[in-house]
Amino acid sequence: MFGFDLPHLHAAINDFPAALLVAAVLFDLAGWGMKRESLVWAGIWTLWAGVIGGWAAVILGELAENTIDHGEAIHDLMKTHETLAIVTMSVFTVVLGWKLWRRFQLGRLEDRSLKLMAVVGLALLLWTGWKGGELMFEHAAGIPTAAMQNEIENRGQAQHHHEGEAMAPDHHAADSAAGRDSTPKPHVDPPGTPPHQH
């Protein structure tokens, strides 16, 4: 779709519903604390958009799951991320569904209970995002194995820097990670070279 594969599409859209759901909770709490109806309604509309977008992100994540190269560690993390995402979206869906069912005419206890559920949903949302970050930044989930091998080799090559650019850290660690021997080799002159100092 538009040149995206499923993992890229999942990554492209999943930040939007997360931001909307965070905003929904903050608007709702601010509207309650400041007694501003406009903020409460802003919370309702962002909750609507966040729930719709959140389920779209969950569905795309489910579809993308079997299309990426992965081992056991990524598989286990994906299952945790998936479970958290479904539970998170279920919490926000219940909050929205209850408000719609009651036509936004909530009693004091109902309102407080839904606010508490929304805060729990927010904590779950942050945990879900954290696990997604682990998948990407600690396990390179979604990056094809061949591309990762090319990148490891590329990072192990000498870099040329222009004046004023910061130098990269020692390449010995990258060589070691790639299984290459980074020990400096002794200099050997070709046969017949006259004696000289180095």
Given a cut of 70, whether residue 172 has pLDDT beyond it is: no
For the segment 171-179, the average pLDDT, to the nearest whole number, is 54
Helices assigned H by DSSP within 134-159 = 145-156
- Burial status of residue 41 (CB atoms within 10 A of its CB: 0-12, 13-18, 19 or more): middle
- Distance separating the N- and C-terminal Cα atoms of the chain: 61
- Predicted pLDDT at 178: 55
Token pair in block for residue 104:
């936004």
- Predicted pLDDT at 39: 94
Rounded Cα gap, residues 75 and 182, in angstroms:
33
Token pair in block for residue 47:
């909750």
Say if CB 53 and CB 13 are below 8 A apart. yes
- Predicted pLDDT at 31: 93
Enter the pTM of the model: 0.70
- Predicted pLDDT at 8: 76
Residues in the chain, total? 198
Give residue 70's pLDDT band: very low, low, confident or very high (50, 70, 90).
low
Q: Does domain 6-144 have CATH number 1.10.260?
A: no
Share of the chain above pLDDT 90, in %: 41
- Predicted pLDDT at 89: 97
Cβ contacts of residue 185 below 8 Å, gap of 6+?
Answer: none
**Virtual torsion, Cα 176, 179, 184, 190, nearest 10 deg:** -170
Mean pLDDT of the chain: 81
Given a cut of 50, whether residue 1 has pLDDT beyond it is: no
Give residue 103's pLDDT band: very low, low, confident or very high (50, 70, 90).
confident
DSSP string computed for 26-64? HHHHHHHHHT-HHHHHHHHHHHHHHHHHHHHHHHHHHHH
For the segment 147-153, the average pLDDT, to the nearest whole number, is 79
